[in-house]
Amino acid sequence: MQKPLKCRLAFLLTLIFFSFVQSQDMAMAMIPNVVDLNSESSIIKSAQKSGIHTILVKAIKAAKLEEILDNDGSFTFFAPSDNAFEKFSKEKIQLLIDSKNTKELRSLLTYHIVARSFSASKILKAMCRGEGVATFTTLQGTKLTASMNGSDIVLTDSFGNNATIVKADTNQCNGVIHVIDNVIRPQKKLPQLRP
């Protein structure tokens, strides 16, 4: 690639990144009860304090994933907000959380977690290297794709379900949290959780 073209591409990505940061701040202003999270906390402790992850925290406890998200390590957690979960009926959410078979719930939640910490700028760099698309392997074992839609980073699962990052880069002692607006699914039809 020619040097001027690389400079233009770098400038364009920087411009997109700063637009993304501004749009995520506006989106978070619309979510009530958001508290500032501190990077000395673990991912699970920050989710518990956030005020917008009540359903997610219940699901993490039911799936017995607290220890993973509280331990040392480096994770990226694409954390669905309560608004994301509330797109499903309360009965279906409760059925999934109360299920004695935690296999589906663990599969769903670990699909939102990637080993290693990826800030929004690292995701954008990976998209740049991937000609506009970045692919990540989740702890669940399947792929998750990131791309841009205007100034937003959008995650897409292998079945076309989308989630937009509405708040990026909440750094924690064991990784980073990106708040997303939809629950993404590793399987086309999770028996317990359909809209």
Mapped onto helix, strand or coil, the DSSP state of residue 72 is coil
So what's the pLDDT on residue 12? 56
| pTM of the entire predicted model | 0.78
Structure confidence at residue 29 as a pLDDT band (50, 70, 90): very low
| pLDDT, tens only, 97-119 | 886 768 889 999 999 999 999 99
Share of the chain above pLDDT 90, in %: 60
d(CA 195, CA 176): 28
d(CA 36, CA 66): 21
Domain extents in the chain:
3-180
d(CA 3, CA 80): 40
The class that CATH gives domain 3-180 is: mainly beta
133 Cβ neighbours under 8 A, 6+ residues apart = 127, 145, 146, 147
The pair phi, psi for residue 186, each rounded to 5°, is: -75, -20
The CA-CA-CA angle for residues 88, 91, 94, to 5°, reads 95
- Return mean pLDDT, the chain: 83
